[in-house]
Amino acid sequence: MRCVVVEDVGAELDLTQATFESRDVDITVFCLFGGIELTVSPGTDVDNQVMTVLGGSEVGKLAPPDPSAPRITVKGFVGFGGIEIKNPKVRKFRG
């Protein structure tokens, strides 16, 4: 994925069903006055290299990396907004 640009709005990217051509994947983001929610499959190894100014960059509690899963490097800039990288929510059955 080359680039994700977000201005004054939000973006939700769900990569849980994505098939990548390579094990190493680079995602470049540019976010100004907005937010990005990036959902990755459990076991995906994530390297967050995003620079933030008056914003936030958070990698949630991810499942332990799986050696066969993709390695995603997220780079870029977030200003006056935020980026959250997480695994999908697991629904628990309550009986």
Mean pLDDT to the nearest integer, 19-26 = 91
Q: What angle do CA 82, 2, 38 make, to 5 degrees?
A: 35
Quick one: which of 32, 70, 37, 38 has its CA closest to 51? 32
Residue 74 CB coordination number (10 Å): 23
Residues 34-93 pLDDT 10s: 899 999 999 999 999 999 999 899 888 888 888 988 999 999 999 999 999 999 887 766
Query: Taking the model in full, what pTM does it have?
Result: 0.82
